[in-house]
Structure 1
């Protein structure tokens, strides 16, 4: 008698596990259902769809870390069915060896040599470990000690669970440790905002700490000395609070300290702002020079695309001073512009984890884009000769476009119209959902805040005056406001209006909406701003976010370099041009009607001096908001009397295209996904016509479109049209008709059919048609019988007797549907 098919779980239990044991593996050296990704999410129409997380059937471990994966299939399947899956897992986990098996056969996949071969057995733990060491170039005892050191479990999340590295953080960590063990001095990690660069850095230091790198346990200074360097206060306080102090201890006797204007050489882990280290004076040298050049073993540069990224920056001197230290740069956005060359300094990234990777893996929030148009941004504003502004100053005549708004020409009604739109949006989607609005400068941010206050005085009262606030460098309480805005358990502020202070390095997991109300020239800045919304906060109900774009900045999503590596482009004469930015909203902006801005050294600090006071008159202006104030205040004209109106909006879905994230307009999304079903319009109409077919088709379309097909009428502002007609209109360019038009065509074509019915049956069915025309497709079913006027005829069973019984009633309604949807 032939053997019965074995399901996968039985195959694993009865065949795979015994063969692993025979090779010397055990429960201590493997982990079943090894988690790799989170739950990938897709958002369309404000609805989130979750996919299953990626898990390997087996991860074979050494010192708790994966060194091989095994993918299992049922014995009734071909063993080759698991090969591609095993390859995908091995690639993600950065392991050189993988297996696919159906219990009877085994295919060994060598990721290093790119070979696949049938084998009689699994390799033993020693054999796999030897091959892992060879393939991964763990050539020294130090490299092996690094690999076999367990990660710290002391940093915990809000639920009290240890914050252990995710798969990609583990890969980045191990690559970094291998390079340090090999003696490399400059390293670069490129990881999208929200993917845990800080957690990775803390675990890296922990492993080095446990191994007494670089001097060894017998040295009089057995622990590494590390400098964690950045240029914003929040990028220091968060790592200290969440990772380093829990891992290494707090208090005066602990090894962790922050440099605040004085030098103590009795610690090991130092945190500092460039501003503090660079602070010198007439009577003393810069603070960093009080440390010996070989004092630090490792310098970690967070957000390394800023600060010392420029070779001509005075802050580069800090890195150059500590010339013997290993320097690790971390950023989501390396730059290669002129003498700002992240890769030129740190070298090519040893690991890259992109925004697309994070979203696809379910670790970052997906997003949708709403592009809104203002008529004045499209058409421009003609200022005639003799026009004066509010201050009585003559305004230069000419045509002003998007490039000049809020910089040389201020139209108060423009900001007011956007405030109206955002008010309606928040009232519709949730008045307590956090939002960041990026304005042109601090003055623009102040006007936006004022307009929102006046439009939402009820919410200002309800939230004790903190529903909307401005968070810029001019606000004395900006640190307190930002801290409250960042906290998941703090309901206020809800709306933060800013210009540049929140554009980078600020972690606000619960932000649901990013509003772009200023042009963004730099791809680096654009990526950083988008990164403000990418963190997931499922415990707070945040699984996606929305970008509302008024200036066309999101055209940068269509740039092939958006989710790719930085590319230096040179003109034919060898010069490096400015970035070519597509004009927003298909409008050719007029040139600036003002003198060019003076050049300032702009180093994005955004911090007060260490004593908390105001900057002195002789200090270099580094804050971007302050620079904006200085360069723009004297040349703005505020002009009243020009109405501004919103002329349209379009929803875009972010989709994976050609290896990157690209915006796809909702209409095109529907067209592509509907046509991919493989059914033509006639087939879809036939299935939609019956109650059961409609139920099945709704489920099919929901899986394809990632939202309910019934929602098309809302998005396309066509409440009088049937969802199937809207689908056919978008996907196959069918003429669009309303439900009433469809019923009228039916009545004209099916007169003979209607006349052949009994008077009672005809009245019931024509009433159902009337209800369908008035209310929608759900009334093309027995549910219409439960509401007036049909409910006045009796119960559903009593009405069914008119048709000869319940079964005949259902068939009559389905027949009505078939005839209705054949009409047209």
Structure 2
């Protein structure tokens, strides 16, 4: 049976009109046309014990140049829509994907929007632009139409071997913008990409394309920790292994093309400025990893390297947007070519969401003041003053407090997963060792299985450092819990970390974001969909910084107790983890050992630096005042509220009033579409069913939670519908079909009655095929009308 264009759905319009028009214009269906182009994976939503994903974002078509540069987005609609109906949606995709040409079609023709010129125009189906036409317009728009050398660099393809990963959309944008900037002669560039989004992979593809195009020959890759260099060489930079070397002290072989080095190895931290063994023009390009960590500071030794190789293209890469504590980075490299934030990564579903468990202890909030003449366990007279959370483990150690933190971490892991990879950030090395000992005492059963279950990993610990690769390895269960101070704050690619414990005073958003970044990597293949931050120092107050870009989804498991007031977070007090603290010259940064020396006259205990005095006391009890679980709403606000309140807010954000919801429910042919929209808002029907009971329909759950309406069970609604005046008038096969449909609704909640395909399912298929069943109602149109009457009766 021939169907009119108006009767066709969107898929049929695409198949019969849009795709043929694009192919007719000369686009290769296999090489250049990407249908159902997946942009995002869909945000992970975790509520209670339920983990699910929001719907991924797809563009109907993305059209590529033969070099894989995307040129156009095409958004399709069915013919009931206007020609321009998909244009704004397509423009949104194009902005996100950094694509200059957008088309909308309903099968009658196309409307085009050109981001280069800002012009919009209508086209007939047969006038869709050819690949050559769009490429020429792209070349003009990008400014390389008359420059073959630029075009050669810009069109150089990515490194790709069958089975390799391909760049995600944001990586492609970062790579392409950098390549374009290089082609245009730019020498100082910066990329801001959240931890876990693939900065080193992006750097590799930039180097590969520029190197293969002959634009660069010698590259220097700089980082400040050995683990960053080693991971990069072994993983993302593996295809360059034949031409790559790691610079060792006084062993500078000039025959390689890619050089990996610590800043410290070259900058003269040991008194030898090794970088001067290369000529100033030796390197064509320098990549600065974790650029926020001081490489661009004017007074730093590391800056000497960049100044010496001034003629080289220099690309800084950081996970941290511009802040007061890294302004030098932005002053040196300039504004970012591209920024991909933690917030965007979580929203897109490429990064793991998180929850916060904040634990408040009495001595941290109320403080502890020694009595006159009080001494510590070493006989040191304790200087008078009120010691609070800022001082503990830096200038005063309360043994009961360390035990309590270890006990609470152990309880959490026992309740959830004792094999969850965990990092505990401590004030310094000595604190990390004490924490390790307390954890061992509480987990002897696990230590008996493997002595690596709990380990300290700090810059001075050879045994701990030797196990770092095993901690990172997704296939190695041990070490499981590690205590550290600064070694693991940045760059360590520990993909399966599920618990981050903060028992250190963190000075800055920059440092805080690096620490949080240890958990943001997703590994759904091994069951890691989210991670938890357990905060003993109110460090998560830094999430409230107006420039912090990462609202996160969370797991909500609200405990008893209300939120306690907390001190304002510090941004640079002595004794806190901060960017000004130096890392060890071996590239494995950490604090130095600060054990007190009994018998000495104690200086003021709040003084920082090597050798400062700590008081140790073992006679003061510490207790937990309360524990609160937080999550972040869509606006990035910290919230501690129950599931019901969250769902009410989320539903009302989509349907402001009950009338709005009921109107949409009655008009929507696919009830599942409404549920999917609410899922994107974070509402999970499974969670509501668990709370109120599975005998209720989604319709009643939503009305009750969001608008306070009394609920009816599906059974009650079914009985009411069967006895309604309209439905009771049917008889014979038609009545039997209605009764079967009502029973199916009562049992399963299926409510899309006017979908004739439901007649193919059991037990309805016993009445014949869909068309013969429809005839019992007087034909398909009458069947659909009856089903709408049934639906009205159910939801009256």
| TM-score normalized with structure 1 length | 0.74
CA RMSD of aligned residues (A): 3.6
Does the 8 A contact of 1:336 with 1:342 survive in 2? Answer: no
Change in Cα spacing, 1:731 to 1:548, as seen in structure 2 (3 Å) is: farther
Q: Is the 8 A contact 2:171 2:198 kept in 1?
A: yes
Residue 241 (structure 1) shift: 0.9
**Deviation at residue 301 of structure 1 after TM alignment:** 0.4
Alignment match, 1:673: 650
Alpha-carbon distance in 2 for matches of 1:646, 1:683: 46
Deviation of the 1:411 alpha carbon: 1.2
The one-character-per-residue Cα deviations of 1:371-399 (angstroms, maximum 9, x if unpaired) are 22212222222322121111111112232
Confirm or deny that 1:640 pairs with 2:644.
no
C-alpha displacement of 1:596:
6.6
Q: How far is 1:437 from its partner?
A: 1.0
Aligned counterpart, 1:143:
150
Corresponding residue SS for 2:93: helix
Query: What is the alpha-carbon distance in structure 2 between the residues aligned to residue 538 and residue 636 of structure 1?
Result: 44
Look up the match of 2:191: 189
Change (3 A) 1:280 1:455: closer
Question: 1:802 maps to which residue?
Answer: none
Q: 1:41 to 1:280 in 2, by over 3 A?
A: closer
Q: Distance in 1 between matches of 2:640 and 2:704?
A: 15
> Partners of 2:576 and 2:73 in 1: how far apart?
58
2:313 is the alignment partner of 1:326: yes
Deviation at 1:201, TM superposition (A): 0.9
For 1:180 and 1:702, the matched residues in 2 are separated by 43
Matched residue of 1:309: which SS?
coil
1:300, distance to aligned residue in structure 2 (A): 0.5
1:29 alignment partner in structure 2: 32
Q: Which residue of 2 aligns with 1:626?
A: 592
Residue 537 (str. 1) matches residue 523 (str. 2): yes
Q: Secondary structure at the match of 1:534?
A: coil
Give the secondary-structure state (helix, strand or coil) at the position aligned to 1:513: strand
Matches within 5 A, 1:475-490: 475-490=461-476
Other-structure match for 1:157: none
Is 1:247 matched with 2:239?
A: yes
Q: What SS class does the counterpart of residue 452 from structure 1 fall into?
A: helix
Contact 1:184/1:326 (<8 A) preserved: yes
Partner of 1:650: 628
For 1:640-683, what per-residue CA distance to the aligned partner results, in whole angstroms no more than 9, with x for missing partners?
Answer: 222222222222223331xxx44332335344125447598999
Alpha carbons 1:97, 1:109 under 8 Å: kept: yes
In the alignment, what sits opposite 1:13? 15
Contact 1:441 1:499 survives alignment (8 Å) = yes
> What displacement does 1:500 show?
1.0
Contact residue 372 and residue 548 of structure 1 kept, 8 A: yes
Which residue, out of 115, 126, 134, partners 2:132? 126
Distance 1:22 1:312, change over 3 A: same
Match of 2:101 among 94, 97, 100: 97
1:303 to 287, 290, 293: 290
Distance in 2 (CA, whole Å) between partners of 1:500 and 1:469 is 15
> Residues 642, 209 of structure 1: CA spacing in aligned structure 2 closer, same or farther, 3 A cutoff?
same
Alignment correspondent of 2:259: 270
Q: 725-734 or 484-493, which moves further after superposition?
A: 725-734
Is the CA contact (8 Å cut-off) linking 2:500 and 2:519 kept in structure 1? yes
Supply the distance in 1 between the matched residues of 2:75 and 2:49 (Cα, whole angstroms): 35
The aligned counterpart of 1:228 is 221
Match of 2:250 in 1: 261
Label 1:701 to 1:165 Cα distance change in 2 as closer, same or farther (>3 A).
closer
Report matched runs for 1:232-631 at 5 Å: 232-244=225-237, 246-250=238-242, 254-279=243-268, 285-334=272-321, 336-337=323-324, 341-462=328-449, 464-563=450-549, 586-588=565-567, 602=580, 604-606=582-584, 608=586, 623-626=589-592, 631=609
Structure 1 residue 432, shift from structure 2 partner: 0.6
The answer (yes or no) to whether the contact 1:378–1:585 under 8 Å persists in 2 is: no
Q: In structure 2, do the counterparts of structure 1 residues 590 and 370 end up closer, same or farther at CA, with 3 Å as the change threshold? A: closer
Deviation at 1:729, TM superposition (A): 11
CA–CA distance in 1 between the matches of 2:594 and 2:528? 33
Contact 1:520 1:526 in 2 (8 A): yes
Question: Where do residues 62-81 of structure 1 align in structure 2 (5 Å cutoff)?
Answer: 62=65, 63-81=67-85
Quickly say closer, same or farther: Cα 1:385–1:733, change in 2 above 3 A. farther
Match of 1:198 in 2: 200
- Is 1:705 matched up with 2:683? yes
Distance 1:698 1:302, change over 3 A: closer
**Deviation, structure 1 residue 590:** 13
Structure 1 Cα separation of the partners of residues 202 and 376 of structure 2: 54
Q: Determine the C-alpha separation between the residues in 2 that align with 1:731 and 1:599.
A: 44
Judge which range, 319-328 or 31-40, deviates more.
31-40
- Distance in 1 between residues matched to 2:577 and 2:172, nearest whole Å: 43
State the shift of 1:122 in Å.
Answer: 1.8
Q: Indicate conservation of the 8 Å contact 1:504/1:528, yes or no.
A: yes
1:392–1:681 CA distance, 2 compared to 1 (3 A): farther
Q: 1:59 aligns with which of 59, 62, 65?
A: 62
1:581-636, Cα deviation, whole Å (9 max, x unpaired): xxx953448999xx977999956544538xxxxxxxxxxxx944128778265321
Moved more, 402-411 or 529-538: 402-411
Q: Hey, what's the Cα distance between the residues in 2 that align with 1:366 and 1:114? A: 37
1:111-134 per-position Cα deviation (integer Å, ceiling 9, x unaligned): 234443332232221221122222
1:257 Cα deviation from its structure 2 partner: 4.4
What displacement does 1:23 show? Answer: 2.1
State the partner residue of 1:44: 47
Q: Secondary structure at the match of 1:631?
A: coil
Number of aligned residues: 663
Distance 1:370-1:671 versus aligned 2 partners, 3 A rule: farther
1:288-327 deviations in whole A, cap 9, x for unaligned?
Answer: 0110000000010000111423210111111111111010
> CA separation of 1:683/1:57 partners in 2, compared to 1, >3 Å: closer, same or farther?
closer
Q: Which position in structure 2 is the counterpart of 1:664?
A: 639
Cα separation, 2, equivalents of 1:201 and 1:398: 51
Cα deviations by residue, 1:419-439 (Å, 9 ceiling, x for unpaired):
111111101111011111111
